[in-house]
């Protein structure tokens, strides 16, 4: 489980194409500190398993399913990436609950800079539209953000200077793909309602 608060702006140092998979080597001295085989690290919002670490870098194998559902397949040597370690139990929840399970990809439509922030408009896949609401939470390339406006096929987010400077959202351009993860709580509520269960009175006793 993650919070969507990016810890480090990392870099892809190598990409190896495998049969129906890819192996990435990524540089991130902070997130690899104390990391070991089997640990999880979110890369642009995608939860990946560490294969090995050495000299501030780690490798991760990405299966075809993940490449199909996210923008990781577009990464090449030198690409910058957002990195985050899993949330520690008992720690502060700075963003919102993020699983690192990408629901789909969007595309940056436009960027509108102002003096103290920048408004970014992102295309929204039709199947995710119902989960995105004004003032709700969404994860874009692993960054926990608040939705400013929500339409049927797009939404906007407001980026402060810190986010622009410390994440890849500061260098993404119009037309670039981004990974999207919607609020998992909304999906659970939808599933319960579809089953005819009132979430406010659900007991788990189906006898």
pLDDT in tens, the chain (207 residues): 898 999 999 999 999 998 889 999 999 999 999 999 999 999 999 999 999 999 999 999 999 999 999 999 999 999 999 999 998 877 767 777 888 899 999 999 999 998 888 999 999 999 999 999 999 999 999 999 999 999 999 999 999 999 999 999 999 999 999 999 998 888 888 888 888 777 566 555 554
Query: In 10 A of CB 70, how many CB atoms?
Result: 26
CA distance 189 to 197: 9
Query: In 10 A of CB 50, how many CB atoms?
Result: 19
CA distance 88 to 102: 21
CA distance 93 to 2: 9
26 neighbors 12 (Cβ within 8 angstroms): yes
């Amino acid at each position: 489980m993650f919070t969507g608060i990016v810890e480090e702006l990392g870099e892809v140092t190598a990409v190896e194409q495998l049969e129906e998979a890819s192996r990435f080597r990524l540089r991130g001295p902070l997130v690899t500190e104390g990391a070991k085989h089997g640990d999880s690290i979110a890369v642009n919002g995608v939860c990946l398993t560490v294969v090995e670490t050495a000299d501030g870098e780690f490798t991760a194998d990405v299966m075809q399913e993940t490449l199909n559902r996210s923008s990781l397949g577009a990464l090449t040597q030198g690409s910058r990436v957002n990195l985050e370690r899993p949330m520690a139990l008992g720690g502060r929840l700075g963003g919102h609950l993020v699983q690192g399970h990408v629901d789909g990809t969007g595309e940056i439509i436009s960027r509108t800079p102002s003096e103290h922030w920048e408004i970014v408009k992102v295309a929204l896949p039709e199947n995710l539209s119902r989960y995105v609401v004004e003032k709700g939470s969404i994860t874009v390339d692993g960054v926990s953000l608040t939705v400013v406006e929500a339409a049927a096929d797009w939404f906007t987010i407001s980026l402060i200077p810190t986010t622009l400077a410390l994440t890849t959202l500061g260098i993404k351009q119009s037309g670039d793909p981004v990974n999207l993860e919607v609020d998992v709580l909304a999906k659970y509520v939808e599933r319960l309602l579809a089953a005819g269960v009132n979430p406010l009175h659900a007991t788990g006793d189906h006898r």
